[in-house]
Structure 1
Amino acid sequence: MTTLQFADEQEYRASIREVRQDSSPVDWVLFGYENDKAQKLVSLGKGSGGINELATHLKDDIIAYGLVRKTDQIDDSTTVKFAFINFLGDNVPRMLKARVSVQQGAIKDFIGQYHVDINTSSRDEVTDAVLQEKIGLTSGSGSRVVNRDTGAREGANKGGRSTAAVNVKGATDLNFGDADALKSAIADVRSDSTPTDWTLFTYADETSNTIIQKSSGSDGVSGLLSNLSDDMVAYGLVRKIEKIDDSETVKFAYIRFVGEQIPRMLRARLGTHSGAVNAFFHPYHVTIEATEKSEISDDIIYKSIKAAAGTAVHVLPDQARPNVTQQWQPRNTGGTNTTNATTKAPVPKASLAGDQGLKYADESAIRNAIKEVRADDNPTDWALVGYEGDKGSTLVLNGKGSGGLEELRSHLRENAVGYGLLRTTDKIDNSVTVKFVFINWVGEKIDRMHRARLGTHKGQVHDLFAPFHVDINAAVESEVTADIVREKVQDASGSGSKVKH
C-alpha cells in the first residue's frame, strides 16, 4: 500500500475525530495536496456548515478528499451517517490523476469508515441534495414507493420530512422551465389512471440551461426512441409492468441520453446537471445511460431491472442456459390484450467469425485469456480485447494480468475501443463470492464512423464475454474506478454494506 505523507498527521487525525463526534459542531473536513506533485497531504479546511460549505473550497485544478457528517431520519429515529468525498477537478492534469489513483486505498484507510461516497470532478455534484439522495438509497430512508396519482413518494413525510421536490434552481445554473408541467408529466407516467408510460425532457436549445418537455406517450420505449437524435441531450422516465408468475410489479427506468454529436465541451458542462436532474426524476429503479439509440430497448431495461432487483441469474456454469420468460405488460387502457415474449438468454457462440464482419486475429488466445480470468485458481484476474487497427473489425488480445482493475486501466486509450473482463470479489458478512465485471470502453477520440459500426458488434461481443454480473460503459478513466466497480457489484448483488471500510 502507498505510504501517505502529511504536513501534520496528528492535527489531521484530530480533525477527523471532531467530525465523528456528535457533540462537536465540526461536521466536515477537507484535505488536499501541498503542491502539484501530490506528495504530501495538507488541510484545506473544516467547518460546521455541512457539505455545501465544504464545496466552496473545491476548485477545478485541485484534488481533494473530505469527510462529512450528516443525519438521516427514518420515521422517528435519527441516525448519523458519514460521507467520503473524492474530488478530482476537471483541470487536474491526466498524469497527476493517474499518480494519485494508487493512493486511494491509503486515503480511505486514513479517512476511516463511511456510509456513502461521492466521486466527482464537478463541484456542482457536491451538494446536500445529492448527499441526501445517496444516504436515502443506502439506508432505505429514501422510499422508492410512489403515489402514482401524485408522483410523490409515500412515507417521505414521516418524521417531519418534506415531500416537496428538491429545489435545484440556481444550484448548477440549471432551470426547470415550467417545473409544474414537468412534474405533472412525470406524475402521469407514474399514475395507473393514465395510459402515458413515458416522458422525455430536453434543453430549450443547444446553449440553454433550461429543461423543457419534449414529448410524452403511451407507446413505450419505441415511442421514446422516436424522439431521440444524435445531436441532443435528453432525460426520460419509462414505466414498465413486470410479470413474474401471477404477480405484477411496476418498475421505472430513468433514461439519460447524450447523443454522439454533442461537442465535448458541451458534454462536460451538461454533466454538471446530472445530480440535479437525477433528483428531479427520483425515485426510479434503474438508470440507463446511452449515447446511441441501440443502447436503449425493452430487453436492456428488463435485464437492468432484473439485475437491480436481484432476481436475475447472472452467472451459470458452462452449460446451456434455461429459457427466461420475459413478460412486459402494456399500460391498462381498457383493452384486454397483453404482450408476452419468451426470450432465450444468450448462449456463447463457438465463433464470431462471419458475424457482422467480426473476426479474430487469434481466437484461442482470446478465449483462453477469458477462461483464465474465470478460473479461481489462476492469478489472471483481467483480460482486455480490442481491435486490430484504428477502424478494424478483427478482435485482438490487448493484454491480461493479475494486477486487477488498475492494471487493466493502464491499457485503456482515448483513441481505442476495449472490451474487458475483470474478476473481483464481494463480501457478505463472512462469505466471499466471486463476481465478474464486463467493461465496454469506447475512448472519446474514436472515429465517428468506427463508433457507429461498433453497434453491430455489440451482441456478439457480449456473447463472447458472457456470463458476467455487471457491465460498465466508459469513455474516460474516471468512469471506471474501483469505487464504481464496487458500487455496481454491490447494487447488483444486494450486498451494499451500510458502512464501508
Structure 2
Amino acid sequence: MTTTAAFDDLQEFKSAVATVRKDGTDDKYLIVAHVEGDPSKLRLIKVGQNVSDLATEVDDTQVLYILSRYERTFDMSSTVKFVYIHWIGDQVPFGKKGRYGVVQGSVQEYFNPYHLLVETSQREDLDFSIIERQLDETSGTTSKVLDNDVASGRQKRGFVASQLPQRDRQKAGGVFISKETASIEVSNDVLENIAAVRHDAEQQRWMLACYRDNNPKGPLDCLAQGEGDITEMIPHLADDLVLYGLYRVTDKVDDIVTVKFVYIQWVGEKVKPFTKAKISTNKGRLEEVFTPYHVLIFTSDRADLTDRNINEKVSSASGTKSFVK
C-alpha cells in the first residue's frame, strides 16, 4: 500500500499556493481532493476568494485538503495567518478513511508552513469566527483563564475564555434545558463521572456516556470509565452506538504542566440515519454538559483516537506546537 500521494499537476497546485500566500491577491483559499478516490493521486479542484464560503464547498463523501488565508489585527498591526484544513466527510467509508490516513503525512508536507491545523467532519468548525478565535488563541492574543487557588506545583488548567460555558450553572443531575430544543435527561452518574475526570485528586482519566437502550431521546447514562489511557476506552466504541466521552490529558506550556480535556463524540458506522438526525438536535445541549473542554473530536474511526493524534490536536489548540518552519 502506498504511503505517499502526488499531484497530477504539481505546477498548477504550486501556482495556486503562491497566489493564496501572496499579499494583494483576491485568492484566499484553495481546495485539493483525491483523483477518483485514489489515495495516491491529488488534484487542485478549487481556488476561492471568500473563506466564509468554505462550509458550503466541502463534500460529506470526500476527504479534502484546504489552505486558507486570514488577516488578523493585534496591537494595531496586521498579520497574515494560514490555516491547513483536513476535511474528512462523515460519509466516507471506513475502509477508505484508513487508506487516506496512510498518506496523510505526505499530503500535509505540501501545505507547510501554516499556523493552525483543523481536522474535522463538521461544517460548523469551518465557520469564519470559530477559526479566527482559534488563531487568536494559538497566537496568544486571547487571554487564558486559570483555576483559582491553584496550589504551587499542581497542574494548571488552561481554558481559554471563549471556551468557558456561557450559561447559568446547573445543579448536579437532572435535566439540561436548551432554548432551541426540548430537554434531555442526563443521569447523575454521567455528571459524577465527568466531575471525577476533572478532579485533580481522582485517578479517573476518562468516561463514556450513551443513550439508554440506544434511544436518542435519552436519558443519557454512563457506559464505562477508567484510569488508563485512550486504549482502555477503545473496546467500548461499538459501531452501532452513539457515545460521548471526556478524556483527560496533560500538555506542557512554558515548562508548566497543564491539564487539558478532550470531548469525544463517537457515531458508529452502523448507527441508523434516523438516529444520526435525531442526535444532531441534542448537540448543543450535550456540549453544555461536557463544557469546558479544549479539543473536540468527532469521529467514527478508531484510528482517530490514538494518544499521538490526541496530543497533536491538544498541542495545536493550545499553541504549544509550531507549524511554521
Question: TM-score, normalised to structure 2's length?
Answer: 0.78
Q: Which runs of 5+ in 2 are unaligned?
A: 149-158
Q: Residues 436 and 476 of structure 1: is their aligned pair in 2 closer, same or farther, counting only changes over 3 Å?
A: same
Q: Residues 309 and 474 of structure 1: is their aligned pair in 2 closer, same or farther, counting only changes over 3 Å?
A: farther
Residue from 344, 363, 370 that aligns with 2:194: 370
User: Quick one: which amino acid aligns to residue 376 of structure 1?
Assistant: D
Aligned to 2:79: 249
Aligned to 2:42: 211
Aligned to 2:232: 407
Once residues 373 and 488 of structure 1 are traced to their aligned partners in structure 2, the CA distance between those partners, rounded to angstroms, is 19
Q: CA deviation at 1:409?
A: 3.1
Once residues 272 and 391 of structure 1 are traced to their aligned partners in structure 2, the CA distance between those partners, rounded to angstroms, is 35
Q: How big is each residue's C-alpha offset from its partner over 1:419-471, in whole Å with a ceiling of 9 and x where there is no partner?
A: 22223334568754333222232333332343344444333322221222333
Q: CA deviation at 1:281?
A: 1.6
Residue from 288, 295, 300 that aligns with 2:118: 288
Q: Residues 352 and 484 of structure 1: is their aligned pair in 2 closer, same or farther, counting only changes over 3 Å?
A: same
Once residues 235 and 189 of structure 1 are traced to their aligned partners in structure 2, the CA distance between those partners, rounded to angstroms, is 14
Aligned to 2:310: 485
Q: How is 1:70-469 mapped onto 2 (pairs within 5 angstroms)? A: 124=3, 172=4, 174-206=5-37, 210-222=41-53, 224-313=54-143, 316-317=146-147, 346-348=165-167, 350=170, 352-353=176-177, 355-357=180-182, 359-362=184-187, 364-394=188-218, 395-427=220-252, 431-469=256-294
Q: CA deviation at 1:260?
A: 2.8
Once residues 97 and 321 of structure 2 are traced to their aligned partners in structure 1, the CA distance between those partners, rounded to angstroms, is 31
Q: How big is each residue's C-alpha offset from its partner over 1:64-93, in whole Å with a ceiling of 9 and x where there is no partner?
A: xxxxxxxxxxxxxxxxxxxxxxxxxxxxxx
Q: CA deviation at 1:392?
A: 1.0
Q: Tell me the C-alpha RMSD between the 2 structures.
A: 3.3
Q: How big is each residue's C-alpha offset from its partner over 1:2-49, in whole Å with a ceiling of 9 and x where there is no partner?
A: xxxxxxxxxxxxxxxxxxxxxxxxxxxxxxxxxxxxxxxxxxxxxxxx
Question: TM-score, normalised to structure 1's length?
Answer: 0.53
The DSSP-based 3-state class of the residue aligned with 2:114 is coil
Q: CA deviation at 1:258?
A: 2.7
Q: Which runs of 5+ in 1 are unaligned?
A: 1-121, 125-171, 325-342
User: Quick one: which amino acid aligns to residue 64 of structure 2?
Assistant: A
User: Quick one: which amino acid aligns to residue 12 of structure 2?
Assistant: A
The DSSP-based 3-state class of the residue aligned with 1:419 is strand
Once residues 208 and 431 of structure 1 are traced to their aligned partners in structure 2, the CA distance between those partners, rounded to angstroms, is 40
Aligned residues: 305
Once residues 464 and 227 of structure 1 are traced to their aligned partners in structure 2, the CA distance between those partners, rounded to angstroms, is 31
The DSSP-based 3-state class of the residue aligned with 1:389 is helix
Higher relative contact order at CA 8 Å, sep ≥6: structure 1 or structure 2?
Answer: 2
Indicate if the aligned counterparts of 1:315 and 1:467 stay in contact, CA closer than 8 A.
no
Could you tell me the percent identity over the aligned residues?
31
Once residues 246 and 145 of structure 2 are traced to their aligned partners in structure 1, the CA distance between those partners, rounded to angstroms, is 13
User: Quick one: which amino acid aligns to residue 297 of structure 1?
Assistant: D
Q: CA deviation at 1:180?
A: 1.3
Indicate if the aligned counterparts of 1:316 and 1:467 stay in contact, CA closer than 8 A.
no
Structure label with greater radius of gyration: 1
Q: CA deviation at 1:194?
A: 0.4
Aligned to 1:340: none
